[in-house]
Structure 1
Amino acid sequence: MLAIVLENAPARLRGRLAVWLLEVRAGVYVGDYSVKVREMILQNIEEGLEEGNAVVMWSSPNETGFDFVTLGENRRIPIEMDGIKLISFLPDTK
């Protein structure tokens, strides 16, 4: 399983993702692909994200059952503690 959530992403990136994945809500995409295809999709997101941000989650054989990465500027950043990925918040800059 692969899930992607986009915020403030360009329309052309959203359209490109809709070719491979089902957009179940605005900016939320799901699908089920191999590692190779997932890496290609991640590369497309990195190249086309511009000022937006994204979180990409996929099934993984670990204790939580999934893994994820964040892309672009976001207050939420992944950190690893005792072998488990958690989310940390950066201070609000406003």
Structure 2
Amino acid sequence: MPTMIVIATTAVPDHLRGALSRWTSEVVSGIFVGSVSARVRDELWHAVTEVVGNGAAVLVHPAATEQGYAIRTAGSRRRTPADFDGLTLIRMTATPKVKETQTPS
């Protein structure tokens, strides 16, 4: 039975966006929404993880959890799903600060 999925992408290759558009609708730039079977969802996600490159992607889909959905991420080292007492939250890691260098006067 088809279920609703949402895939959010950032800085992914154009051919990946085209592949996602075959099964979903791009409602806003980089946000894909569709109703697909679990098999198609898993195949789409596998394709995303294979070619995400330097970009990032997040998949949200229905699941038998307390929240009613599951979250998967790919390509992002800064945002990762984390389980907190049965709730899935997105853990944001700090970005390293760029050390400013001064030129001698």
Which category describes the TM-score, using the shorter chain as reference length?
over 0.9
Equivalents in 2 of 1:74, 1:55: separation in Å? 12
The 5 Å alignment of 1:47-62 reads: 47-62=50-65
Equivalents in 2 of 1:76, 1:43: separation in Å? 19
Q: CA deviation at 1:11?
A: 0.5
Query: Over alpha carbons, which structure has the higher Rg?
Result: 2
Matched residue, 1:46: 49
Equivalents in 2 of 1:56, 1:73: separation in Å? 12
- Amino-acid identity (%): 34
| TM-score, with length taken from structure 2 | 0.84
Which amino acid counterpart does residue 17 of structure 2 have in structure 1? R
Structure 1 residue matching 2:80: 3-state secondary structure: strand
Equivalents in 2 of 1:76, 1:49: separation in Å? 15
1:90 aligns with 2:93: yes
**CA RMSD for the aligned pairs?**
1.0
Which amino acid counterpart does residue 62 of structure 1 have in structure 2? T
The CA deviation string for residues 5-63 of structure 1, in whole angstroms up to 9 with x for no partner, is: 00000101001110110110110000111111111000110112111000000012221
Instruction: Structure 2: give runs of 5+ residues left out of the alignment.
Output: 98-105
1:31 aligns with 2:44: no
| Structure 1 moving runs of 4+ over 4 Å | none
* Count of residue pairs the alignment pairs up: 94
Equivalents in 2 of 1:43, 1:87: separation in Å? 20
